[in-house]
Structure 1
Amino acid sequence: MDLFAPAASRSRIELFARAGFAARGAVYVLVGTLALLAAIGSGFGDVGGGKSALQALLGQPFGALLLAAVGLGLVFFSVWRLVSALTDADSHGTSPKGLGVRAVHALSGVVNGALAVSALHLALGFGMSGGDDDAAQDWTAWLLSQPFGQWLVGAVGLGVVGGGVFHLWKGFRGDVLKRLAVPAARRKMALALGRAGYAARGVVFGVIGVFLVTAAIRADSSEAKGLGGALQALEEQPYGWALLGLVAAGLAAFGAFGVVQALWRRIDAPDFDARRAVDGVARKARV
């Protein structure tokens, strides 16, 4: 058996990536469903972020096993995002725009990696410290403590707002099926899920970004909010139950779109030829 077979390596990476998209989708389905139940006043929902959704999953039958599976999938997604950003697996290039997209993917890998750790901690019975807002406030406080901290937080906030605007544009006018090989019979469903999902994420990102800009202006990390805080802010607006319901349904749709991505996304897994890497190291050593 050839342990260094590049084709086998690519196959494993692709499998990990697909499992990762499905796991991220499961988290969004949970977040959106719980928020939607809260919006309609069912008494069963909860307006929270990813960590709240994971805790809700733990309370279900076989919850620990389900949580472990989601956590492992999020590990795979995190690794895929980091690998694809470093190797440019999606061919974004080295233009300023391409590097920006790759940087966002790398950040997504870090964020989902942290969520994966929380999921696995819960599954193993170690509990969870804090929620999404606590995490956002912690790193905002750290950033504020750095030189030019307020400017840094403000820049991040504006970047998140910009990401929200881009997601809104993608939801309404963009090609949400790019890099997807969806069968013709499923394209309308996939398109509807993608548009609703990206639009909802755009709203949430915009709210999170505004909170970060506010934190920068006031030099107060407690102003920063995560996904859960953004959803609660929507709920507090006039007709907030309707606004929250629409966004929550969109987030659930984005979760379902994650399953679409898991099934039909074109994944150009990088060729990690270990033998070639070893030979290269050996040649350098001889020099």
Structure 2
Amino acid sequence: MSGVLRRFARARADAQRATRVPWLRVVARSGYIASGLLRLLIGVLALLLAAGLDDAPEVNAASAFGLLRAAPAGGVLVAIAAGANGALALWLVVQGVLYRPPALLERWRQRIVYWSRSAVYVVIGLIALRVAIGARQSSVDADRAAGRRLLEVPGGSVVLLLLGLTVLSIGVGMVWVAIVRRFVGTIHLPEAPWARRAVVVLGIVGYAVQGVTIAVVGGFLAVAAVTSDAARTGGLNDALVAVAGSGLGRGFLVVVAVGWAVAGAYALLRARLARLD
């Protein structure tokens, strides 16, 4: 057992040294740039949806990367975004391993946060990779079909319910982060008072709006599992359309669009301000 512990200690020391390599830090920060760009594009898609255009793209990550791919050298840009998300995911895994506060409960709580965020960036990176290589973008109809197949499998509704509750809890958690300003501890705030206030406001708005929309998606998935309604498994696009049609109208979509754009601006700033130690 002592040999295993020694090997683990050496691996941890190697990981700590790796996190101090300047170019690796640059690669990790590039993930926040890619994340910010994705959020900005989702804001644009939500705004197009609010405009009521018949040919408006679906509001999801694949459509956002599809917009980027349509730009000059877009395929290369999307491929870079895929790699940047993967690099940030790996960095977060390492950070979770290295995080060792005295309190055991706090250690594992924060590790779960690190690794959950890593999983999100892995998924985003895979979506970007599919778009970069020209794979068919997943549509809302495809998401519904997948949800329908899951509901038809024994125990599938339970899996979908757990997924919905997990997504809902992530959204609620992001709103809580905005309320208590927990994100401030993950960045180096600028020295100028006006700049500090601006960064904090961007963070609050970005986390809050993202949290609300993600919670709505989770709620729809949970309801789909309870009611066996595959029509509610279309993801973010379906959730936004349904909520907007429930009486909140296009104003809700505009708020979502602006909020995601603000979240994108904050993520771009975070690429410079994030604590990587």
The normalised TM-score by structure 2 is 0.79
Match of 1:251, SS state, is helix
Larger relative helix fraction? 2
- The answer on whether the counterparts of 1:20 and 1:74 sit within 8 Å (CA) in structure 2 is yes
Task: Determine if the alignment matches structure 1 residue 56 to structure 2 residue 67.
Answer: yes
* Equivalent residue, structure 2, for 1:131: 139
Task: Determine if the alignment matches structure 1 residue 150 to structure 2 residue 161.
Answer: no
- The answer on whether the counterparts of 2:140 and 2:234 sit within 8 Å (CA) in structure 1 is yes
* Equivalent residue, structure 1, for 2:196: 187
* Equivalent residue, structure 1, for 2:172: 165
Give CA-to-partner distance per residue, 1:95-153, whole Å, 9 cap, x none: 263354244224313322322322422xxxx232423673586378458736x432332
- The answer on whether the counterparts of 1:24 and 1:77 sit within 8 Å (CA) in structure 2 is no
C-alpha distance in 1, partners of 2:266/2:179? 15
* Equivalent residue, structure 2, for 1:282: none
Structure 1 letter corresponding to 2:136:
M
TM-superposed deviation, 1:89:
4.5
Match of 1:52, SS state, is helix
Give CA-to-partner distance per residue, 1:133-190, whole Å, 9 cap, x none: 73586378458736x4323322222222222222222223333322211212321221
TM-superposed deviation, 1:77:
2.5
* Equivalent residue, structure 1, for 2:26: 15
Which structure 2 residues correspond to residues 272-283 of structure 1 after superposition, within 5 A? Answer: none
TM-superposed deviation, 1:91:
6.0
C-alpha distance in 2, partners of 1:176/1:39? 29
RMSD: 3.1
- The answer on whether the counterparts of 2:45 and 2:58 sit within 8 Å (CA) in structure 1 is yes
Give CA-to-partner distance per residue, 1:58-95, whole Å, 9 cap, x none: 2223323332332222222333334334x155969752
Task: Determine if the alignment matches structure 1 residue 101 to structure 2 residue 113.
Answer: yes
Where structure 1 has 5 or more consecutive residues not aligned to the other structure, the ranges are 269-287
Give CA-to-partner distance per residue, 1:28-47, whole Å, 9 cap, x none: 11111232244246889645
TM-superposed deviation, 1:250:
0.7
Task: Determine if the alignment matches structure 1 residue 175 to structure 2 residue 182.
Answer: yes
C-alpha distance in 2, partners of 1:133/1:47? 11
C-alpha distance in 1, partners of 2:100/2:121? 15
C-alpha distance in 2, partners of 1:256/1:92? 35
Report which stretch shifted further, 4-13 or 254-263: 4-13
C-alpha distance in 2, partners of 1:239/1:232? 10
The normalised TM-score by structure 1 is 0.76
* Equivalent residue, structure 2, for 1:251: 260
TM-superposed deviation, 1:256:
1.1
* Equivalent residue, structure 2, for 1:271: none
Give CA-to-partner distance per residue, 1:5-26, whole Å, 9 cap, x none: 9746632432221001110111
Match of 2:185, SS state, is coil
Where structure 2 has 5 or more consecutive residues not aligned to the other structure, the ranges are 1-13
* Equivalent residue, structure 1, for 2:130: 118
* Equivalent residue, structure 1, for 2:86: 75
Match of 1:242, SS state, is helix
Give the 3 Å change call, closer, same or farther, for CA 20–135 of structure 1 in structure 2: farther
